[in-house]
Structure 1
Amino acid sequence: MKITKILIGLISLVMCAKATVAQTDQQRIFSPDKKLELVCSPKKLTYTVSYNGKQVLSDSKLGLIREDDDFSKELTLIKISKPAMVTQDYTMVNAKKSSISYKAIQTTFEFKTDKGNWMNVIFNVSNDGVAFRYEFPEKNKDLKRITKESTSFRFLAGTRAWMQPKADAQTGFEHTNPSYEAHYNMDIPVGTPSSSSNGWVYPALFKSGQVWMLLTEADLGRGYCGTSLAQNSVNNEYLVNFPQPAEGIPGAAILPESALPWKTPWRIMAIGDLKTISESTLGTDLAQPALAMDKAFIQPGKAAWSWVLEKDAATIYPVQKKYVDYAASMNWQYSLIDANWDETIGYDSIAVLAKYAKEKHVGLLLWYNSAGNWNTVKFTPRDKLLTHQSRVQEFARLKEMGIKGVKIDFFAGDGLSMINYYRDILEDAASYQLLVNFHGATLPRGLQRTYPNLMTTEAVFGYEMISFGQDAANKAPSHSVMSAMVRNVFDPMDFTPMVLYKIPGVKRVTTSAFELATSVVFLSGIQHFAETPSGMSHVPDFVKTFLMELPNNWDDTRFIDGYPGQFYIVARRSGKKWYVSGINGENKQRDLSLNLAFLANKKAKLIFSEGSDEVNLKSKEITLGHDGKLGLSLKGNDGFVLVFED
């Protein structure tokens, strides 16, 4: 009898617990500072987001569809975990900060389908944003395939957007799109369709009232493709878009697939004012932590590069030797040799040049074609990196030659097989102590944290495009601001900036001070400078000294002021020295009133433009007052740099 009563009691407790979970209509999750609130409605499988009590994201969908089951509707809520603080500390050498701390409140919702399959939804809410991912916790060796995400982001009416269209696969130069190389559509109404059927790339920036939101993803793992936002967004609702069929290795997987257990990527939205967005590190906070590797060879730095202004004809031994001397004279760590070096110079002569460069304390970087039959690019070396065996053979040869890194170009897009190809290259390169730079490539999505030998990635309409025509040069000022404030927020960007003198065949519309400022404004693990030895000969000595002493990486970053597409001012610290740099993206005078209270009473050297010469750079000493306020006036398409004493 006693046993019966105990069993009845236990059954009643279980039934009550199930009823409590089943009746839960909403679950609120707050950021540590309580400014952000995410409300999940398990019955409807939706969520909303509010900032300072005002909703910025209305009912948005959760869920996905696997080939074997539907996880987007009619799920049974089994359990909601108690909100718990998650923390982590980590370091990086190719990011806006060297030491980073992450804190968030995490809550997990456990669901079950009618077929008995489990899916968890994990929410993280931090002071700078919200993130969530899906998890299949069961164990199963069979491959499961996801055919669709129901995930959506529904913005309020009146929200504005700053976004870049994603080019359709197999379009563009030698069928090399998509490569995230387009201008941004700025300050457009949400709901505006993309000009491409392939949607919009990450990061995507939105503004609702006075609240800014930056949307991206991280931690794809080896089971997920890269995604984007769909072309059409009916009722301001943006859906997650899978890659087009041609965005991968032909015959290999495009869509997500994995055995179980399996975690999908984090869907990330940084939220707050522009300072919060600009200083956020969510894109690496939620990336997979660094894999074990010998990090002694991972040295950030600056590089000379001939191709951007001198093109193919410069890829010959005498010119590349001149660029090695140039890098050495500027105290830069690297010199990059671009396409067709294997034919115009040859492996043996490159080995001789690498030995010469080593004596000058300069490391050589070599260009490669990613090859494969996904494009028709003929540039060489090609067909050297397609398999593990061929990569090992090539990378071993490079290590023996003394080569420090590789630039690999012309990938196919965001399909699963292509995402895994990036990872395969990085792992094999690390085994042979080679740094990596991806061009014609997708957004890294925090991959540089997982593989610290990934120094930078293009994924931007960069300086080589500006050098091709006047239209791109005319758009460069506002596009540079956009690239710095959106593309470069979480991931290193190989824009290859800075022409201080002339662009052959194109009239530069920016001042030399604007160009110089981009050396600080843009973040890249290796900063490849476009300026040539000839162009640098026209530059004042104090500018050369600035570039010789410019830090190779940063310990801290602070947003000072800015607005997407209009202007951007940022402060970066290396050791005890602060650099404050700004660019005006509009062709009109801008009068600035900067609040630099953290640098009050400090002396600085100001580098600015004055006059109408090709290189019109000047410098003067200034001292901030006790309030740290500084007024500056910039001409149209102008910039400045401040270097504060230790």
Structure 2
Amino acid sequence: MKSELLLSRLQTYVKSLWVMFLTVGLLSSAAAQQATLTSPNGKIKIALHPVQTGTTGAWYLSVACGQQEIIPNISLGLTRNDQDFSQQLKFLKAGKPRLVQDTYTALHGKRSACTNTANEVSYSFVNPTGAALNLVVRAYNDGIAFRYEFPEKSGSYTVTDELTAYTIPNETTRWLEKWNPPNELLYSVMSDTSVQKGEWGYPGLFKSKHDSCWFLLHEADLNGSYCGTKLSNLTNAATYKLTFPNPADGNGHGASQPVIQLPWQSPWRVIILGSLADVVASTLVDDVSAPAVVKETDWIKPGIASWNYWSSNHGTMDYKIVCAFADLAAAMNWPYTLLDWEWDAMGNGGKLEDAIRYIHSKGLKPLMWYNSGGPHTSVSSTPRNRLLTHESRVKEFTWLKQLGVAGIKVDFFESEKQEMIQYYLDILKDAADFKILVYFHGCLVPRGWSRTYPHLLTYEAVRGAEWYNYDPAFTTAAPIHNTILPFTRNVVGAMDYTPVTFTNSQFPHITSYGHELALSIVFESGMLHMADRPDGYEQLPDAAKSFLKNVPVAWDDTRLLDGYPGKNMILARRKGSSWYIGAISAALGEETKAIPFNFLPEGVKYRLTLITDGAHDKVLSTRYEVVDKSSTIDVKLLRRGGFVAEIHPL
């Protein structure tokens, strides 16, 4: 009897062992089929999978937000001129997970104290020849980032294609801008049957069918070892593949395919992910980019500049106009004035040196425009060709420092080929040596360079107010366009829209004065060029003028209070202990918005100055109140209206 009992127990034990071994085997098999990385807060998951089509050796990622899979397939791989790294890849191992913790101070942007944390894993592969490819994946609380690595120690190769491609469910709503070299077209909104095929510029905004989950596709930490890319769904409407610059870009100058030196890392492929408020507040593009290489930064001063081009396209040729805009900057307490194109042809009472002396006499710092020049652009506007080589830049920057010029605006790049990326960075490096501020115009969308080179205060790369000079259709497009930009282009870096105009340029605008005033807060730019003529600001009521004299351009915090792309936007930004709110609407009728102040700290009362639309779109109304964290105020907006609020602790 005892022996039977022992036999029975032995059989049970063996069966248990078998079940345990079977379970472990299944788990091991599952692990081989899928490796998952989760963000520190547990909300975002990214998984690596093999493509289940025989033994192709192809791999893809999937991305989930909460319990919802929002990007089911991100295809992976590269091809080089010598071999393929997209098919027949053998998975070797997943590296030991590590916690990435980073803190840094930004001199300008949407947040000064930046803290980011991510979980990172590096996946190792080899192709049939034994050549290695690593995929480094990070999961942040506000998105994911991944990049490729060739870890070998030497070798020079051409990357012939990048196979990274995002497959997006058809029901996902998307806001995309058709690819164009200066990134100055309008965004289109699409979903379901309205999804168009084409080539699209960064960043692209997507809203999953789960309303709480939005994501923005971009790239970051682009350097001279690669070219810029764009998104193309020409082959398959549902799949956005990364593609290299068109051969015709930049007048056909330069190679479209990048040449790399091993060891090598690609730029980060970035997906900002979460609620719409998470997307707007994210600094992920800067977070993954290289830390600052400029160590002495006390000369880097964000600020507002007066600008004469919008009201007078050839204004810098006229000494008297230049002086009038210097007077405007001085009267408005703005530290800068920009001498736009043709300053080398200035006349009507004075030359460049006379204008510089006059600007300095007002306690201002001059900025000067340059044509990037070279074979990549056919634009003949002058001065041209002065920045093309290191030697010519040293000569020009030496002269600018002698003149007392604080910064440069460089225009007409017209390409994102590797050679042009190197040119951008060479300008930044040489400008840093001479302590010269930089503003890129007619350029690429930000890729995180302002973290690495904090003297890069802003970029254009937007259809901004200067289009009131060029296209009558911009009059009706602007209200909707303005309410899309804070959710798209301006998320990824500084954007000089050249805003806040109350008079008209070649073509009128139909946004209200309240809407225009609010653009100074809604649009973030470390160098903000106020575009209107002097009398456009002189005729404002005292409260509005006072507001524009003191509004910051570099922020300590940014929070979305309300909004939806193409409809409206209410944004709160903090500078020190004070808060500023900007609100704009594209609505065709009046609307009332309830503004909660629950973002304020407990136990502090604030003095509120509220400047809103008045009786009609060219009138402003001001009121003053005391508010605290428990307060809510109703504000009426006219059609295509807006308002600003300035909030200081008592």
- Fold match, TM over 0.5? yes
Match of 2:616 in 1: 612
2:103 pairs with 1:89 = yes
Give the stretch that moved more between structures: 247-256 or 408-417: 247-256
Shift of 1:631: 2.2
Separation in 1, partners of 2:466, 2:235? 33
Confirm or deny: 8 A CA contact 2:119 2:138 kept in the other structure.
yes
Structure 1 or 2, whichever has the larger Rg, is 2
Aligned counterpart for 2:160 among listed residues 147, 156, 162: 147
Match of 2:16 in 1: none
Q: Which letter maps to 2:610?
A: L
- Per-residue displacement from partner, 1:521-552 (whole Å, max 9, x unpaired)? 11111100012112222111221111111123
Match of 1:114 in 2: 128
2:46 pairs with 1:38 = yes
2:341 pairs with 1:339 = yes
Match of 1:290 in 2: 292
Q: For residues 494-643 of structure 1, what are the structure 2 equivalents within 5 Å?
A: 494-500=496-502, 502-599=503-600, 601-612=605-616, 614=618, 616-624=619-627, 627-643=630-646
Confirm or deny: 8 A CA contact 1:297 1:433 kept in the other structure.
yes
Pair 450,91 (structure 1): closer, same or farther in 2 beyond 3 Å? same
Separation in 1, partners of 2:297, 2:92? 44
Q: For residues 399-548 of structure 1, what are the structure 2 equivalents within 5 Å?
A: 399-500=401-502, 502-548=503-549
Pair 636,613 (structure 1): closer, same or farther in 2 beyond 3 Å? closer
Give the stretch that moved more between structures: 485-494 or 245-254: 245-254
2:68 pairs with 1:54 = yes
Q: Which letter maps to 2:529?
A: H
* 3-state SS in 1 of match to 2:524: coil
* 3-state SS in 2 of match to 1:203: strand
Q: For residues 247-286 of structure 1, what are the structure 2 equivalents within 5 Å?
A: 247-248=249-250, 252-286=254-288
Match of 1:103 in 2: 117
Give the count of matched residue pairs: 614
* 3-state SS in 1 of match to 2:442: coil
Shift of 1:613: 6.6
Q: Which letter maps to 2:422?
A: N
Separation in 1, partners of 2:566, 2:62? 29
Pair 403,72 (structure 1): closer, same or farther in 2 beyond 3 Å? same
Confirm or deny: 8 A CA contact 2:438 2:457 kept in the other structure.
yes
Pair 630,23 (structure 1): closer, same or farther in 2 beyond 3 Å? closer
2:86 pairs with 1:67 = no
Separation in 1, partners of 2:140, 2:289? 15
Match of 2:184 in 1: 181
Q: For residues 126-275 of structure 1, what are the structure 2 equivalents within 5 Å?
A: 126-140=140-154, 142-167=155-180, 178-189=181-192, 192-194=195-197, 199-209=199-209, 210=211, 211-232=213-234, 234=236, 236-248=238-250, 252-275=254-277
The unaligned stretches of length 5 or more in structure 2 are: 1-23, 51-56
Match of 2:14 in 1: none
Pair 260,405 (structure 1): closer, same or farther in 2 beyond 3 Å? same
Q: For residues 374-389 of structure 1, what are the structure 2 equivalents within 5 Å?
A: 374-389=376-391
Shift of 1:144: 1.4
Q: Which letter maps to 1:605?
A: T
- Per-residue displacement from partner, 1:174-193 (whole Å, max 9, x unpaired)? xxxx1100001024448823
Shift of 1:497: 0.1
Shift of 1:234: 1.8
Separation in 2, partners of 1:590, 1:241? 43
Shift of 1:598: 2.3
TM-score, normalised via structure 1 length: 0.91
The unaligned stretches of length 5 or more in structure 1 are: 1-15, 168-177
Give the stretch that moved more between structures: 212-221 or 224-233: 224-233
Q: Which letter maps to 2:33?
A: D
Confirm or deny: 8 A CA contact 1:223 1:256 kept in the other structure.
yes
* 3-state SS in 2 of match to 1:138: coil
* 3-state SS in 1 of match to 2:120: strand
Q: How many percent of aligned residue pairs carry the same amino acid? A: 36
Separation in 2, partners of 1:460, 1:35? 32
Confirm or deny: 8 A CA contact 1:99 1:555 kept in the other structure.
yes
Separation in 2, partners of 1:226, 1:348? 42
Match of 1:171 in 2: none
Q: Which letter maps to 2:642?
A: G
Shift of 1:21: 9.3
* 3-state SS in 1 of match to 2:178: coil
RMSD between superposed Cα atoms in Å:
2.2
Q: Which letter maps to 1:67?
A: N
Confirm or deny: 8 A CA contact 2:318 2:348 kept in the other structure.
no
* 3-state SS in 2 of match to 1:488: helix
Confirm or deny: 8 A CA contact 1:193 1:233 kept in the other structure.
no
TM-score, normalised via structure 2 length: 0.91
* 3-state SS in 1 of match to 2:451: helix
Shift of 1:468: 2.9
Separation in 1, partners of 2:382, 2:407? 16
* 3-state SS in 2 of match to 1:38: strand
Shift of 1:625: 5.9
* 3-state SS in 1 of match to 2:183: coil
Pair 250,295 (structure 1): closer, same or farther in 2 beyond 3 Å? farther
Confirm or deny: 8 A CA contact 1:248 1:417 kept in the other structure.
no
Pair 581,432 (structure 1): closer, same or farther in 2 beyond 3 Å? same
* 3-state SS in 2 of match to 1:476: helix
- Per-residue displacement from partner, 1:166-224 (whole Å, max 9, x unpaired)? 13xxxxxxxxxx11000010244488234x5xx10111001112111100000112111
Separation in 1, partners of 2:116, 2:494? 19
Shift of 1:94: 2.3
* 3-state SS in 2 of match to 1:598: coil
Confirm or deny: 8 A CA contact 1:248 1:416 kept in the other structure.
no
- Per-residue displacement from partner, 1:10-66 (whole Å, max 9, x unpaired)? xxxxxx99x979971101111111111111115541111111111101122111111
Q: Which letter maps to 1:602?
A: Y
Confirm or deny: 8 A CA contact 2:573 2:581 kept in the other structure.
yes
Pair 230,256 (structure 1): closer, same or farther in 2 beyond 3 Å? same
Q: Which letter maps to 1:604?
A: L
Match of 2:7 in 1: none
Separation in 2, partners of 1:314, 1:290? 34
Shift of 1:628: 3.1
Separation in 2, partners of 1:621, 1:203? 39
- Shift >6 Å, 4+ stretches: 19-23
Q: Which letter maps to 1:337?
A: L
Q: For residues 305-324 of structure 1, what are the structure 2 equivalents within 5 Å?
A: 305-324=307-326
Separation in 2, partners of 1:463, 1:265? 31
Separation in 2, partners of 1:455, 1:552? 10
Confirm or deny: 8 A CA contact 1:307 1:315 kept in the other structure.
no
Confirm or deny: 8 A CA contact 1:610 1:618 kept in the other structure.
yes
